[in-house]
Structure 1
Amino acid sequence: MSRRVVLAGIGATMALTLAACGRRAPLDTPYQAGLDARREAQENDEPLPPEPKPPVSDRKFVLDPII
């Protein structure tokens, strides 16, 4: 095979891989994702997953001012 064909194949593979990854939406917290999963299961009459625990309030850490 010629080098151009190999490079074109690699380029096409990389482009398709990058185009297909991720989803176009805001990020969900684990708590919100758990609530959504419960709601969807309830709407579809499926067994409910365990209820997610609400997030704990943020605790201060010594190095927080540096960040």
Structure 2
Amino acid sequence: MTAGRILVTLTVLAAVTAVTACGRRAGLDTPYEAAVQARKDAAKAKEPLPPEPTKPETDKPFILDKLIQ
């Protein structure tokens, strides 16, 4: 194999690895939802409860939200 062919193979392999690593596997949790779930898990495990989260006022869309949905 020539050096050029090895370089092309490594570049293609790196590109395939980078593309397959992108994306999300499940729905995204908001910080509020994560805090509520943490309280439920702590209550279930009979551990001290973290502070109760405050509900967000409104759901303000972020400019990049359309890219991840």
Q: What range describes the TM-score normalised by the shorter chain of this pair?
A: 0.5 to 0.7
- Structure 1 segment 1-67 matched on structure 2, within 5 A: 2-45=3-46, 47-57=48-58
In 1, Cα distance between equivalents of 2:11 and 2:48? 44
In 2, Cα distance between equivalents of 1:6 and 1:24? 31
**What TM-score results when the alignment is normalised by the length of structure 2?**
0.53
**What TM-score results when the alignment is normalised by the length of structure 1?**
0.54
- RMSD over aligned CA atoms reads 2.9
Amino acid at match of 2:36: L
Gaps of at least 5 residues in structure 1 are 60-67
Superposed structure 1 runs of 4+ greater than 6 Å apart: none
In 1, Cα distance between equivalents of 2:23 and 2:48? 28
Secondary structure at the counterpart of residue 27 of structure 1: coil
Amino acid at match of 1:28: D
Identity %: 42
Gaps of at least 5 residues in structure 2 are 61-69
Give CA-to-partner distance per residue, 1:37-61, whole Å, 9 cap, x none: 33234444555443221111369xx
Amino acid at match of 2:54: K
